[in-house]
Amino acid sequence: MASATPAAPDHNPDVVLVVDFGAQYAQLIARRVREARVYSEIVPSTMPVDEMLAKNPKAIILSGGPSSVYAEGAPSLDTAIFEAGVPVFGMCYGFQLMAVALGGTVDDNGAREYGRTPLAVTKPGSTLFEGTPAEQSVWMSHGDACSAAPEGFAVTASTDVVPVAAFENDARKLYGVQYHPEVLHSTHGQQILEHFLYRGAGIAPDWTTTNVVDEQVAAIRAQVGTKRAICGLSGGVDSSVAAAIVQKAIGSQLTCVYVDHGLQRKGESEQVEKDFVAATGVQLKVVDAEERFLSALAGVTDPETKRKIIGREFIRVFEQAQAELIAEAGAAGEAVAFLVQGTLYPDVVESGGGTGTANIKSHHNVGGLPDDIEFELIEPLRKLFKDEVRMVGQELGLPEEIVQRQPFPGPGLGIRIVGEVTKERLDLLREADAIAREELTAAGLDREIWQCPVVLLADVRSVGVQGDGRTYGHPIVLRPVSSEDAMTADWSRLPYDVLAKISTRITNEVADVNRVVLDVTSKPPGTIEWE
């Protein structure tokens, strides 16, 4: 399988590298840098420094991490990075790594700090802290602590138990803080980060979604040439924006394929043909594959197996569509050699593509693809977060109904049925899902929640009373969550009256459902989807 088109070329002169030491927040750091209108990429801590420098970074950020700098096998970094003349900003573990590497002292003195912590700024006019309060709340998560800064470094902040909570060396453009400025709990964290980017590193905040579109259009034209591409269009934000970028690049060389696999929500097929085609004028080929997918999923209950089956069948349907398109084009037609996918950065990370990350679940575009795929992939959104994708969609002029649509998984309702997927169960879940969406929209809550998966516990039944009689029906789970980028999420505190109306309507209007429950689990420990 060929590698995807990068979100920005390696020679971008304004790239900031985020070196990942296994931090849970590495992706968030990269996202915060982009919010400052500066392009960022994550690289593993195992990458040789000369390879990092070959990317010509304007700055380097060292992430946090779970290790002690003194632990056996703890991630390390070649000290040559501090002599390269590139501005460096260390956070938490990265801060301690800098301190030790440059001659400071880090020790286990019992000065552990976790969660919100008061920070005292000792040099208010410093590069990082100028214009911020002398006392501010920050988010700490550390055991070891820096007790002495390296020679030539000014100590710029401390806490009640940590004498060196931040240091700066303007001459060498080296900076560090013990806490996590990237999380919202650090009240002035974004300002500190921007001070490093703009003042410490001298980077101009000029990266925009226009840059993304322009770079991708040029890269895709070079990649595709005169050949043709197909795109799996689901009607969701990701595939729609990916398709719109590729169409802008190669026009009529792109054909979108909508697979009617029977796993869609109510009204989705009509939305794709009406809204997206009307907005873009893209060529659309509809493939009726419901029977094929349901046959392949018959008897399957394991969620990973379901994901892989759905991913496999998608590719096989695309191959069928490819053959039909070539036949239609005749002898003069160019080869359909490329498959466009709306893979996002969180999809890659959760499928084991991030540094130090486990394979949480196979994404249908990543771990769910068969090894013998015949297409070369085009993934213009592979390094973008969802909010960035929405901005790109707005830049391309896509309608609000598509750009602001809540996330919906590529495998569709197939992974929202816990148990075997059947036509009857899909129809039942479709109705329950439609009711939940209708009531959330009516209450004006669409923009306040990230998404609300509606889950059918198909292999579970519970006793109920309906119409003065005993019932033995299925439970439906509501999973409303709030998130910025799906890397982490919390359950949404929906108004009780809205929840009550959804529950009443589902139990009254959907056959074989006699109970509605609310999932109040955050991510982590749970994932947003149940399967």
Active site residues: 92, 180, 182
- Cis-peptide into 524, omega within 30 deg: yes
**Paired residues of 476 in beta bridges:** 456, 516
Q: What share of the chain is helix, strand, coil (3-state, %, to 5)?
A: 35, 20, 45
Q: Is 3 exposed, middle or buried (0-12, 13-18, 19+ CB in 10 A)?
A: exposed
Q: Is 443 exposed, middle or buried (0-12, 13-18, 19+ CB in 10 A)?
A: middle
90: tokens are: 């260390």
Q: Residues 141, 92: contact at Cβ < 8 Å?
A: yes
- Cis-peptide into 525, omega within 30 deg: yes
Q: Give all strands (DSSP E) within 45-187, no chain letters.
A: 59-62, 88-91, 105-107, 113-121, 135-142, 145-148, 154-158, 166-169, 174-177
User: What is the distance between the alpha carbons of residues 446 and 387, in angstroms, rounded to a whole number?
Assistant: 15
Q: Round the CA-based radius of gyration of the chain to a whole number and report it.
A: 25
Q: Give all strands (DSSP E) within 356-457, no chain letters.
A: 376-378, 417-418, 454-457
User: What is the distance between the alpha carbons of residues 168 and 174, in angstroms, rounded to a whole number?
Assistant: 6
